[in-house]
Amino acid sequence: MISSKISRRYAKALFGIGREDGNYEAYGKCLEEFSRFCNENETFYRVISSKIFSTEERKNVLEAVLAKSDFPDVVKNFLRVLLDKDRIAAIADITDYYRKLTDEVSNITRARIITARPLKEDALEKLKQGLERLTGKMVIPQVSEDGSLIGGVVVQIGDMVLDGSVKAQLEGLKESLKRGEYN
């Protein structure tokens, strides 16, 4: 909870700077890239987030990476501050919250679409349009597959869940039968 609040505070700080200079989207992309880099390079992430190493050593490692990146200075400085304040481990949370802030400003919503089988392009497009009409925002779909759904699709936007899977229908049928609704 505290960590989440601190992550929001840092995200808001960078977002504020980005809004002022008009580069909030670019900063967001840089954060996304850095966060993805941390995910892909676990050793690097463990080194910069672990207190086993001295701050100086961790700074050197970070600087080595930043030197090879084309991130704006604002983002580089932001990452250095996170390291100085021992908050670099929260980079994923900060990135998530920053994404939410940019999405709000850009009227974007992200829809997590889970499908039992691969969706065809036109079906995905139709679904995206339907969700955009439902939410009134531009929808960025994040599609994933889950065979346990048997068939159909599940969409999650924020706290809203729309379940059109065969699994959910079978569960509903099962509960109805158990309650004796079909007697």
Partner 1 sequence: MSRFKGLFRIYRSIVLYVMCGALFWIPAGLAWAAEHGGEAAAHEGGDLKDLLARCINFALMVIILFVVIRKSSMKDFFSSRREEIRRKLDELRKGKEAAESKVRELEQKLKAFEAEKEQILEQFKAEGLAEKERIIKEAEERAEQILQQAEFTIQREMEAARARIREEIVDLATGKAEEIISKEITDKDQEHLVNEFIERVEKLH
Binding-site ranges for partner 1 (CB under 8 A): 115-117, 119-120, 123, 126-127, 130-131, 133-134, 150-153, 155, 162, 164, 166-167, 170-171, 173-174, 177-178, 180
Q: Which is nearer to partner 1, 31 or 111 (CB)?
A: 111
Nearest Cα to Cα of residue 114 among 172, 161, 183: 161
Show Cβ contacts of residue 42 under 8 Å, excluding neighbours closer than 6 positions: none
Residue 174 C-beta: closest distance to partner 1, Å: 4
Q: Which is nearer to partner 1, 63 or 132 (CB)?
A: 132
- Give the gyration radius of the chain's Cα atoms: 21
Both tokens of 100, joined, read 């939410």
Secondary structure E strands in the chain: 108-115, 138-145, 152-157, 160-165
Q: Which is nearer to partner 1, 79 or 127 (CB)?
A: 127
Residue 100 C-beta: closest distance to partner 1, Å: 23
Q: Which is nearer to partner 1, 23 or 156 (CB)?
A: 156
